Chains A and B, each alone.
Chain A
């Protein structure tokens, strides 16, 4: 009997599969649950950012850029289309200003126009 059961193991497997509901997530028509540590879109705590540029120096994908005129005049720009979502900026920042949320970044047909200004201080142009 055990031999027979092992011989028909695939038949058992498909029978079980029909009885159980499929495990497919119905996104985008259903909910999508992402774990908390999921590396999604970049967010910044603007009060903590001082424009030191450590995140820019360590980014492997050149997705961050700092335009700095002086200590109190700078602008930090992020390019989500270039970003590799690796989290190196979060590790490099010594003040805990920049980091990942667990929100998904949507698709776009124009990646070159996807620019997010993270922090602007006393700078126009």
Chain B
């Protein structure tokens, strides 16, 4: 059979964001792939140097729409470390609550996308309907469904009233039931399992070679999770399970995200239960003394690393962001060799791409 090259080009129904791949196929088998990024590059790291720290918090939020809160949290942690100020405990708990809710909404979004690409549009619509509950919580609390603007340097920008706490508890309960139903469907639907089981298994050696992080690594049995290994408060006071699965194929990557969603909802309940009272912000000076700092966080897709260097003024001297999708994308050409053409959507969906994060 001749070899033809199909472009999964910048425009394709499979991709949420532009990415260019050229895939060589012969008949129905894939021979190899090559990757090209940069379509969503906006120069955030350079733009951040021309704005003050206060303005940068809002700029950093727009690196990615799905994991916006984690980015701002990590940035604020970096600046607060350089300033040497300690955020009040209630603000830490609110930050963790928003992080976990973001994990829930991101995984539900991803699950819908996988179902849609496999042909199960009903599951897509039903999971996005359940995701609206999480977005309703975030909108009621912070004022925006996707752009929360929850963080400021020195704490969070809003406090939770009694009614809001009751609303959060009620919606988290509802979400737990719905996510239980979704988990039922995934585990028992034979067609979904038939499409994903045994597809593109990734070994532990490949994970370690390419420095892959996040649920993709945990689905192959590598036990890393920054919330437990390198926690920022309050994660060091909270109890939760880190889920790993041994197989490493697309089915494991599907199941692990559904299980992580359930675990995150339990974590939300623990956070609401343990939330202390007190102020939600401390005053932060505008000029940051000289220094450099590295902070890390566990975004829904893996480990986010921020490097910040300051020179005593109110604008940063250098900001560097390493997002998890960049680490996982390097694995993609390897995963795409020796599979069926019909498995390309399953593999792509399994990595949970967020190209806006990767390109900055």
Contacts and interface: CB of A to CB of B under 8 A. Distances in A.
B149 to A, nearest CB: 5
B337 interface: no
A85 B122 contact: no
A84 to B, nearest CB: 6
B189 A38 contact: no
B59 to A, nearest CB: 6
A87 B149 contact: yes
A13 interface: yes
Contact of B58 (A6, A7, A86): A86
A59 to B, nearest CB: 7
19 contacts: A6-B188, A9-B184, A9-B185, A9-B189, A10-B123, A10-B185, A13-B181, A14-B122, A37-B142, A39-B144, A58-B52, A85-B144, A86-B61, A87-B143, A87-B157, A88-B54, A88-B55, A88-B149, A100-B143
A86 B142 contact: no
The 8 residue pairs across chains A and B that have the minimum distance between CB atoms: A60-B55, A60-B58, A37-B143, A39-B143, A86-B58, A86-B149, A9-B184, A6-B188
Contacts of A26: none
A39 B140 CA distance: 11
Interface in A74-120: 84-88, 91-92, 100
A86 B132 CA distance: 21
Report, as a range, how many residues of chain A touch the other chain: 20 to 34
A85 B55 CA distance: 13
Interface string B50-69: 01101111110110000000
Contacts, number: 67
Contacts of B149: 39, 86-88
A17 B126 contact: yes
A38 B57 CA distance: 19
A47 interface: no
B307 interface: no
Contacts of A58: 52, 54-55
Interface string B34-78: 000000000000000001101111110110000000000000000
Nearest to A38: B143
Contacts of B140: 35, 37
A38 B144 contact: yes
Interface string B147-182: 101001000011000000000000000000000010
A62 to B, nearest CB: 10
A39 B147 CA distance: 10
A94 B30 CA distance: 62
Interface string A49-74: 00000000011110000000000000
Nearest to B152: A91
Contacts of B123: 10
Given A7-B188, A85-B147, 8 more contacts: A13-B185, A14-B122, A23-B129, A23-B132, A37-B141, A39-B143, A39-B149, A84-B58
